Structure 1
């Protein structure tokens, strides 16, 4: 099976009330681990890469690895570019085979956000590529994008409706109180805001900052209309922590196949937990 657009799978998830997990991967082993988890649990899957990871690994390397995974898999897999501010890089990724892109202009006024998002939608729609955009400002750190807590702002439901109508965007990530990174305390999610947005916006909604949200809150977000949940920091930390433990316990074992196989197992188990939590197991 080839890489697919995430639009149909997210529309189905929104319609049936479950969420699809989108995992930010930074290495081949992380990619393989989440694909293995999706295969085992029969879950649809969205592979994500940040702009930093694209620069680190190279667009063609990522796209070809994801394409190979999709061709070997029995489940639908989409490849998504997360939090990109550059129109040029988005076009490069689409040409390389990405089937979903996020144009993030949430730092700009509403009109500028609409203008840039609409520009991407016009190109992507003709190629059946999903487009995600953000309204409001999600706090925390995502690659080189830093939004201080006091600068984060929640999305206005009526603006969300107008934004979707003006841009034709496929999926929307409204700021509802989550943050990128690991939470220092309990996340302050505005569930009434999610419900209000979902009540007037038909496109699938995206939950950013999915790492570390308590399970009950994740389930409530999904039930209210969040069809996609991004998991980045939690996955990256699990991968790195497993490597740290390995070298403490086996300081003289310098074979990458030894420690990478353990890291893959750790990432796979976490991915399985997240898929079960969002209800997308056996939905492929």
Structure 2
């Protein structure tokens, strides 16, 4: 099975009241852990690559690893560029075999965002590639995305129809209170997502797929595991998973997951090296790391996204 676009995935997800997991990948073990879980649960899958991942692993290595995953699992898999900063990186990914790209023009004015997004859409659609745009700005840090909390902006529902119509995007990322990275809400605060915004966006764009970024749940057991073996990560409250499930039952068809995977992998590596300090074979400590990724992805597919058995 070749790479697929997200078009049919999102149509089924919207109608079925579930979301597709978009998991960030950086190396072989992460890709293997994600795809093994998805294959066992027969879940459709989006593997997404950030600009930082392309710098780290190189475009060609990542695309070949994804090709191997498709051959190994026979799953419907989309390969997506996460947070494309400009036309050039989106073009490079379209030309380099991606089936989906995101152009993030959210830092620009409304008109500038439309112009940039439309340019990417015109090029991508001419090559059979779908495009995700963004309205609203999430706070936080993830790879090359750095936005201060004071600069975060909720999506304005009254703008979404014009944006989608004028750009021709295939899906839209919106800001309803999530944020990039592991640290979202301070202990003692009550996490809250703006479901009123999501509901209004869904009303204005019936049947149109909405995307949620910055949706890591920050599993505290992994934070504790990392700290137990020499880490110094502060406690934090992530987005409650019941809120993500609610979003998936509304208009949200794609939920991005990255920090949860990093925490699970790091905790497994730290634990293994603490228990086997003389071990210097990467295969020994990356094996439990891959397993931790797999179990985290399985949990997200089954208990949060609701897409098990939907491949």
Q: TM-score, normalised by structure 2?
A: 0.89
Match of 1:207 among 208, 212, 217: 212
- Partners of 1:187 and 1:101 in 2: CA distance: 30
- 2:230 equivalent in structure 1: none
- Partners of 2:215 and 2:41 in 1: CA distance: 20
Question: How far off is 1:265 after superposition?
Answer: 0.4
- 1:82 equivalent in structure 2: 82
- 1:194 equivalent in structure 2: 198
Question: How far off is 1:15 after superposition?
Answer: 1.9
- 1:10 equivalent in structure 2: 10
- 1:256 equivalent in structure 2: 282
Question: How far off is 1:128 after superposition?
Answer: 2.0
- Partners of 1:127 and 1:280 in 2: CA distance: 28
Does the 8 Å CA contact 1:160/1:174 hold for their aligned counterparts?
no
Does the 8 Å CA contact 1:3/1:71 hold for their aligned counterparts?
no
Match of 1:266 among 285, 292, 301: 292
Classify the secondary structure of the residue corresponding to 1:224.
Answer: coil
1:95-134 alignment to 2 at 5 Å?
Answer: 95-134=95-134
Classify the secondary structure of the residue corresponding to 2:140.
Answer: strand
- 2:251 equivalent in structure 1: 225
**Across the two proteins, how many residue pairs are aligned to each other?**
284
Q: Which moved more, 1:237-246 or 1:263-272?
A: 237-246
Q: TM-score, normalised by structure 1?
A: 0.97
Q: Which 5+ residue runs of structure 2 have no aligned equivalent?
A: 218-238
Question: How far off is 1:166 after superposition?
Answer: 0.6
- 1:247 equivalent in structure 2: 273
Does the 8 Å CA contact 1:14/1:227 hold for their aligned counterparts?
yes
- Partners of 2:113 and 2:141 in 1: CA distance: 20
Does the 8 Å CA contact 2:132/2:171 hold for their aligned counterparts?
yes
Does the 8 Å CA contact 2:26/2:62 hold for their aligned counterparts?
no
Does the 8 Å CA contact 1:43/1:280 hold for their aligned counterparts?
yes
- 2:220 equivalent in structure 1: none
- Partners of 1:96 and 1:179 in 2: CA distance: 29
Q: Which moved more, 1:99-108 or 1:67-76?
A: 67-76
Does the 8 Å CA contact 2:18/2:253 hold for their aligned counterparts?
yes
Q: How well do the aligned residues superpose, as a CA RMSD in angstroms?
A: 1.1
1:159-174 alignment to 2 at 5 Å?
Answer: 159-174=159-174
Question: How far off is 1:9 after superposition?
Answer: 0.6
Superposition misfits of 4+ residues, deviation over 6 angstroms: none
Does the 8 Å CA contact 1:205/1:225 hold for their aligned counterparts?
yes
